[in-house]
Amino acid sequence: MDRRKAGRSGRRVWTAAADRICMRLAVIIAVLLALVAAAQTALHIDGIRPFLSKTERLEGVPRGDR
């Protein structure tokens, strides 16, 4: 009987740890998606785009002058 209780207690510990890890991963994924959305929105603004994109800065520059 004591083994059964110990097994359940250990399982609860691992389940709680897994739940915390899953919650942290969900938060990290949400933050990364928000950052991607913000970056994509920033690339649509003409004043910010040259600072974020090297391709935008090099547009129209001859290949040898890079």
What burial class does residue 49 get, using C-beta atoms within 10 Å of its C-beta: 0-12 exposed, 13-18 middle, 19+ buried?
middle
Instruction: Give me the helices (H) in 1-66, please.
Output: 2-42, 49-52, 54-58
Whether the full predicted model's pTM is greater than 0.85, yes or no, is no
Give the Å distances, CA to CA, from 59 to 4, 10, 44, 55, 64: 69, 61, 16, 6, 13
Mean pLDDT score of the chain: 84
| pLDDT score, position 3 | 63
Tell me the residue range of the domain where 46 lies. Answer: 2-65
Q: Cα(34)–Cα(40) distance, rounded to whole angstroms?
A: 10
Our count of domains for the chain comes to 1
Could you read off the pLDDT of 1-47 as tens digits, one per residue? 456 666 677 788 899 999 999 999 999 999 999 999 999 999 888 88
